[in-house]
Amino acid sequence: MSATLLVTGASGHLGRRVVELLLESHQGSLIVTTREPSKLADLAARGVTVRKADFDDAKSLDAAFAGAERLLLISTDSLDVPGRRITQHQNAVDAARRAGVRHVVYTSLTRPEPGSPVTFAQDHWQTEQALAKSGLGYTVLRNNLYADLLLHSLPQAIATGQLVAATGTGSTAFVTREDCARIAVAALTSTFDGKRTLEVTGPSAVSHAELARLAGELSGRPVQFVPVDVERLKAGMVSHGLPAFAAELYASFDVAVAQGLMGEATGSVAELTGKVPTSVASFLTSHVETLKAAAR
């Protein structure tokens, strides 16, 4: 019999895609959790067990996780209060242990160790430590930056002719959300019950200078990479209406890239899924119309 699987955060982009892939391939029981079960009524109609899970209410998670053997813990989006997400994840790890879960798959961040400039890296690092101390089997998936995010930044760069960043000569091993979903499914459905930490990346790393060139080639409008220091980058984002805390967060990723923390490409996706991950060039080519529209 296939193990009973559970996916948290199933109403989010990544969680929903994981569930869709599982429905195509998994033969056993599937449980999904969300803060608002009504959003997943369509999944319930397809035979999925939908439960409410409030990570701020530790006791409520016992019922939410009951019966699960392998659990995908998708990191929450609670960045409003420092330390809140760490508490939420600790609650989830503790509840998984009480529920008798054998293995937890967790979506972490590339290189979240102490010293990372990324503002919320400590949330992931503390969660990884909680898993290490829990006695549970686990797979930590340290996802690099989504290539999907480029569909927000590159159209603006194409429209202005400038890709402004504080990444210097650093590169990023962007990975698509689709590949992150596929490796999460592979880890969740695996029979691996030990402990492992995997860096999840695309097939190669690209610099912002290379991104500017690709954006120009695909859109038909030249784009220049404009390197700036991090303070100028943050000031520019704030001047365009971004809240200061958000500017600090986005800029912290540029610092990580500049320090070389996001540039190592690994074979994890291919090893677990059997399929080579999508490159940035291929991903952008598949969305070429979005880029061309920005040039008009």
Given this model, what pLDDT does residue 82 score?
A: 86
Task: Tell me what pLDDT residue 79 has.
Answer: 87
Give the pLDDT band (50/70/90) at residue 107: very high
Q: How large is the average pLDDT for residues 158-179?
A: 98
Three-class SS of residue 2? coil
pLDDT value for 27? 84
Tens of pLDDT, residues 236-276: 999 999 999 999 999 999 999 999 999 999 999 999 999 99
pLDDT tier at 26, thresholds 50, 70, 90? confident
How far apart are alpha carbons 138 and 105 in whole angstroms? 6
Which superfamily does CATH assign the domain made up of 5-143+177-200+264-273 to? NAD(P)-binding Rossmann-like Domain (3.40.50.720)
User: CB-based contacts of 155: which residues, under 8 Å, 6+ apart?
Assistant: 290, 291, 293, 294
Query: What residues contact 50, with CB distance under 8 A and at least 6 apart?
Result: 10, 31, 32, 33, 34, 37, 40, 41, 43, 44
For residues 134 and 97, give the distance between their C-alpha atoms in angstroms, rounded to a whole number.
Answer: 7
**If you average pLDDT over every residue of the chain, what do you get?**
96
Predicted TM-score (pTM) of this structure? 0.96
Q: Is the Cβ–Cβ distance between 103 and 137 less than 8 Å?
A: yes
pLDDT tens digits for 48-59? Answer: 999 999 999 998
Residue 205 has pLDDT above 70, yes or no: yes
CA 164, CA 187: separation in Å to the nearest integer?
A: 37
Cα separation, 296 vs 284, in Å, equals 17
Please report the pLDDT score of residue 1 as a whole number. 53
Structure tokens at 131: 């898993």
Q: What is the mean pLDDT of residues 64-71?
A: 98
- What gap in Å lies between CA 149 and CA 135, rounded to an integer? 35
Rounded to whole angstroms, how far apart are CA atoms 86 and 154? 32
Give the three-state DSSP class for 193.
coil
Tokens linked to 5: 């699987």
* Domain map (residue ranges) of the chain: 5-143+177-200+264-273
Which amino acid, one-letter code, is at 116?
A: S
Q: By percentage, how much of the chain surpasses pLDDT 90?
A: 95
**Six-digit token string for 259:** 């320090």
When pLDDT is averaged across residues 126-142 and rounded to a whole number, the result is 98
Confidence of residue 182 (pLDDT cuts 50, 70, 90): very high
How far is it, in rounded angstroms, from Cα 123 to Cα 136? 19
Q: Is the pLDDT of residue 149 over 90?
A: yes
Query: CA neighbours within 13 Å on the CB side: how many for 182?
Result: 19
Buried b / exposed e along 246-279 (16+ C-beta atoms within 10 A): ebebbbbbbbbbbbebbbebbebbeebbeeebbb
* Site of tokens 């999904």: 32
For range 34-42, the mean pLDDT: 94
| DSSP reduced 3-state for 86 | helix
| Average pLDDT for 227-240 | 96
Residue 107 to residue 105: CA distance in whole angstroms: 7
Confidence of residue 2 (pLDDT cuts 50, 70, 90): confident
Give the residue among 162, 268, 265, 273 at the shortest CA–CA distance from 208. 162
State the Cα–Cα distance between residues 137 and 131, nearest whole angstrom: 8
